[in-house]
Structure 1
């Protein structure tokens, strides 16, 4: 039996814990992880480390039709950490880079998607960001993990809470049990 696939979408936002720890926790929960990144996200998260953990290259760019290999179809998507810019693009459907384009497309397919925004409190207070979170929360396959009352820049939940949210979005069962 093959493992269910979780797309991990990273962007130009600092993670409160090493992103490699998140990948390991997802894998321990029974997921095959395929990493995608926004172009600037590669400056925040080491594609080489992610590739060595997942066994697959980190996808950053659209591939030309008929070239390269397609990603395996996902059972769940985790956008974590998702920057202020990428949250707003996703909510508005602005697919100007591969990672955000995949988020938009997978939401259209109804793939369970967990979004973990990470930005400065000053950006989180911006009205556009608040509207974007409302839009994302209103999308049936999307779960947003964001506590506007949390202090400081580290509003993100623990990686264990994130993995539990992915499991719950996928049907509240360990990934290997699907």
Structure 2
């Protein structure tokens, strides 16, 4: 399938990051050219715990996997995005994003992205983290800013600590929420 739409999948260090080929392939089937950006912790997970995973994801997408800012003198290696999918979105990245912290490439892209492209966010954290009073405020803030945050019915439902089910992570709901 020929594509002319570029999707940035931006992944944080949460267990579903170990299955990034799932949303990449689903987005490609939906006609997206997919580029993958990882938080530094997610990059560490995939380089230290899953040998060859970065290379496999680069082969799958046809693009380098990015995880840090480039130097100003270096060219952009990814095409500009038409949309972004932030998944899995950790509580840490949620809090930083909602307060405009841009201390990583992933955060810089999604912080700027609010003003530039449609963004879908699919969280992944436990119900103890979700119970913190700031979490709902951050979700509400991002929703008011135009981000589609798939938390609750039709998206991700937080689980008991240490009881997450990778097979239940709703990747397809996130792909379906992207602009047509």
Q: TM-score, normalised by structure 1?
A: 0.84
Q: Tell me the equivalent position of 2:152.
A: 147
Look up the match of 2:134. Answer: 128
| Residues 120-141 of structure 1: CA deviation (Å, up to 9, x unaligned) | 211111112111111111112x
Instruction: Report the Cα distance in structure 2 between the residues aligned to 1:165 and 1:57, rounded to whole angstroms.
Output: 25
Structure 2 counterparts to residues 109-120 of structure 1, below 5 A: 109=116, 111-120=117-126
In structure 1, runs of 5+ residues without a counterpart are 174-178
Q: Is the 8 A contact 2:130 2:158 kept in 1?
A: no
CA distance in 1, matches of 2:126, 2:105: 24
CA distance in 1, matches of 2:99, 2:67: 20
In structure 1, the residue corresponding to 2:14 is in which secondary structure? coil
- Post-superposition offset of 1:41: 0.9
Distance 1:100 1:20, change over 3 A: same
Match of 1:96 in 2: 103
What do the CA deviations read for 1:26-56 (whole angstroms, capped 9, x no partner)? 0011000010011001134442232121011
Show CA shifts across 1:60-100 (max 9, x none).
11111121334211111000001110011111100000001
Post-superposition offset of 1:7: 0.4
Task: Give the equivalent residue in structure 2 for 1:67.
Answer: 74
1:157 CA displacement: 5.1
Q: Size of the alignment, in residue pairs?
A: 166
Query: 1:2 Cα deviation (Å)?
Result: 4.6
Deviation at 1:108, TM superposition (A): 2.1
> Matches of 1:19 and 1:32 in 2, distance apart?
15
Find 2:173's aligned residue among 136, 152, 161: 161
Q: Is the contact between residue 145 and residue 157 of structure 1 (CA under 8 Å) also seen in structure 2?
A: no
1:176 corresponds to: none
User: For the structure 1 residues 26 and 106, does the alpha-carbon distance in structure 2 shift closer, same or farther, using more than 3 Å as the test?
Assistant: same
Structure-2-length-normalised TM-score: 0.83
Aligned residues of 2:67 and 2:106 also touching (Cα < 8 A): yes
For the residue of structure 2 that corresponds to 1:119, the secondary structure is coil
